[in-house]
Amino acid sequence: MMQVRTVYLWGVAIVVALFAGAAVGQSSGGVASLQTRTADAVSMVRLSQQPLLHISSGVLLGLGIGVLIGSVSMYAHWNRKL
């Protein structure tokens, strides 16, 4: 009877210890990563509220690519024609 009770208590203690350890790690790690991620999300939202910046970047890139495509294709056209 005493042995059964001891085994039972050890079982409860081991389960509690394992569960508590896992829960503590999961919870604190999850909270810390979410705090960092919240700050990142706020930065991203602030950035998304600057449309001129996005459009300017797009225009600049588009101009560069457009000039390259336009000039090279026109050169190729005349080079073939002449």
User: Does 54 contact another protein by CB under 8 A?
Assistant: yes
Does position 3 interact with another protein (CB under 8 A)? The reply is no
Does the footprint of another protein cover residue 14 (CB under 8 A)?
no
DSSP codes joined into one string, 25-72: HHHHHHHHHHHHHHHHHHHHHHHHT-HHHHHHHHHHHHHHHHHHHHHH
Chain center to CA of 60: 27
Residues that bind another protein (CB under 8 A): 1, 5-6, 8-9, 12-13, 15-17, 19-20, 23-24, 26-28, 30-32, 34-35, 37-38, 41-51, 53-75, 77-79, 81-82
